[in-house]
Amino acid sequence: MRSEEEMFDLIISTAQKDDRIRAVYMNGSRTNKKVKKDIFQDYDIVYVVRKNKPFYEETAWIDIFGERLYMQCPDEIDRCNGFHVDFDKCYGWLIQFKDGNRLDLHVIPEEEAKALDDKLCVILLDKDGILPTVSEPADEDYWIKKPAQKEFEACCNEFWWCLNNVAKGLWREEIPYVHKMLYDGSHLELVKLLNWKIGYETQFRISTGKASKYLQKYLDEDIWERFLDTYANGNIDNIWHSVFVMCGLFNDIACELERRWGHTYNLKEAEAGYKFLKHVQTLPKDAKEIF
């Protein structure tokens, strides 16, 4: 596996030799001093170029970075899936090399780079001084944001309402639908609530990372273990168990945010939602009515 020094030498020397590339900067976890280094960290690199088109039309130039195991062009994927993309504003290659390194490489034109506003950014090369001055990398743009009461209310309402869909999906034994409603709905609101709890306890000066991957670092062990128990498999009984664990955890944290930090929690709504879940759990499969 090539070393960090070897990778940076290759990334910068490639830019130095190619007159079409005018600047290089890096963002992502490698610029964040709070993130522990490990072997899976990507190299998130942006080349500032005169024009994007020559780079995405003739891609053999990326072979210089090493032997690929496989790769993805995310903008091509987005276009195939019907999303609007503009290759001339940004284009990227996500490359997994056979030696274990991964390079997430993007090209953007000079006019886009002039608006660079990323606090987790390090400039590696600027041939013409076109990039704005950036300060020492800091992750403050990614800190947990303090919720307003209305945002808190919306979170709680969404949590309990989405469980209505989970309940009917479990009664119908529609497992793919259940997981979609559970983990794209209520579970996301639980994660949001846990982040707010952490935010209050740290004066909203930390980030739990992409997809809240650092939650464990900031939660008490018992809460973390309960949180892990909210992840279900494909078994109906197991899913019901995880749903009720999730309800209990959400309710406890919401009540804590009300008690300690002054938010108003609609307990009647929560009790109604929980009661509905318990009712549907015991509803016979041949039921002709819900109530």
* pLDDT given for residue 141 in this prediction: 86
Domains recognised in the chain with CATH numbers: 4-139 (3.30.460.10), 143-281 (1.20.120.330)
Return all residues near 214 (Cβ < 8 A) that are at least 6 apart.
207, 208
22: its two tokens? 């005018």
Q: Count other Cβ atoms within 10 Å, centred on residue 213.
A: 9
Query: What is the structure's pLDDT at 135?
Result: 83
Per-residue pLDDT of 99-113, as tens digits, reads: 999 999 999 999 998
Mean pLDDT of the chain: 95
Name the β-bridge partners of 96: 70, 102
- Positive or negative CA dihedral for 185, 152, 230, 271? negative
Token code pair at residue 139: 């992750």
Provide, rounded to the nearest whole percent, the portion of the chain with pLDDT above 90.
90
pLDDT at residue 117, as a whole number: 81
Count of positions (residues) in the chain: 291
pLDDT band per the 50, 70, 90 thresholds, residue 242: very high
Q: Comparing C-alpha atoms, which of 115, 137, 142 is closest to residue 124?
A: 137
Q: Residue 138 pLDDT > 90, yes or no? A: no
CA atoms within 13 A on the CB side of 135: 5
- The residue among 245, 118, 257 whose CA lies nearest residue 194 is 257
pLDDT for 25 equals: 96
With a cut of 90, say whether residue 136 has pLDDT above it: no
Identify the pLDDT of residue 114: 82
The pTM of the full predicted model, rounded to 2 decimals, is 0.89
pLDDT grade for 33, boundaries at 50, 70 and 90: confident
Cα atoms in the 13 Å half-sphere on the side-chain side of 42? 15
Tell me the pairing of strands 121-126 and 21-27.
antiparallel
The rounded distance, in Å, linking the Cα atoms of 130 and 132 is 7
Q: What is the pLDDT of residues 184-240, one digit of tens each?
A: 999 999 999 999 999 999 999 999 999 999 999 999 999 999 999 999 999 999 999
Greatest C-alpha distance within the chain: 74
The pLDDT-based confidence of 125 (bands split at 50, 70, 90) is very high
Report pLDDT digits (tens) over 53-100. Answer: 999 999 899 999 999 999 999 999 999 999 999 999 999 999 999 999
Of the candidates 134, 124, 132, the one whose C-alpha atom is nearest the C-alpha of residue 13 is 124
Confidence class for position 247, pLDDT limits 50, 70, 90: very high
CA separation for the pair 250, 263 (Å, rounded): 14
Identity (one letter) of the amino acid at 11? I
Mean pLDDT across 121-141: 89
What percentage of the chain reaches a pLDDT higher than 70?
Answer: 100
What is the tens place of the pLDDT at every residue in 37-58?
A: 999 999 999 999 999 999 999 9
